[in-house]
Amino acid sequence: MTESDPSETLFERIIAREIPADIVHETDTTLAFRDISPQAATHVLVVPKTRYRNVGELAAADPALLADVIATAHRVAELDGLTDSGYRVVFNTGADAGQTVFHVHAHVLGGEQLGQFGRYAGGPDAG
Ligand code: 5GP
């Protein structure tokens, strides 16, 4: 992180229970809670309790913690009954990917047939 980063993001406040969230699973190192604006029947965010800005920083600094995040994502899928039907894990990283909260988080999506992903649907090649 850089000195210009805000000292706290929304997700630190959720981890500290200063902001309510629908928590679905917690481990010593991670917290999983439902996205406030779900994009699928299941849409859960998994965060490490230690803040890194994005998945690249997390992978470089603490690969074991990244493994914890993925293991929690899989546990969330088990808890929501998604392991047979399938699910998707996404780390938005930076502006083009639409990252808005700079505390690394995995999106766990599933519970219904998911759409394709990739190019912006409203972009110049749309239609
Ligand atoms: P990003 O766009 O950074 O990959 O994902 C941030 C996610 O945080 C978005 O999907 C957004 O809906 C979710 N979000 C934003 N504010 C809140 C909140 O106050 N509570 C919860 N549970 N999710 C939030």
Domain range summary for the chain, segments of one domain joined by +: 10-110
The protein residue whose alpha carbon is closest to atom 15 in ligand 1 is 36
Cα of 35 vs centre of ligand 1, distance in Å, is: 6
Q: How far apart are CA 22 and CA 33, in angstroms?
A: 5
**Residue 38 C-alpha from the chain's centroid:** 12
CA 47 vs. chain centroid, Å, equals 6
Who has greater pLDDT, 108 or 126? Answer: 108
Which pTM does this prediction carry?
Answer: 0.92
**Using one digit for the tens of pLDDT, what is the confidence trace for 9-35?**
999 999 999 999 999 999 999 999 999
User: Mean of the pLDDT values across residues 37-56?
Assistant: 98
Mean pLDDT of the chain: 92
- From the options 3.30.428.10, 3.90.245.10, 3.40.640.10, 3.10.150.10, give the CATH code of 10-110: 3.30.428.10
Task: Indicate the Cα dihedral angle 54, 59, 62, 66, nearest 10°.
Answer: 80
Per-residue pLDDT, averaged over 58-79, amounts to 98
- The residues facing 30 across adjacent strands are 48
State in Å: Cα 84 to ligand 1 middle: 26
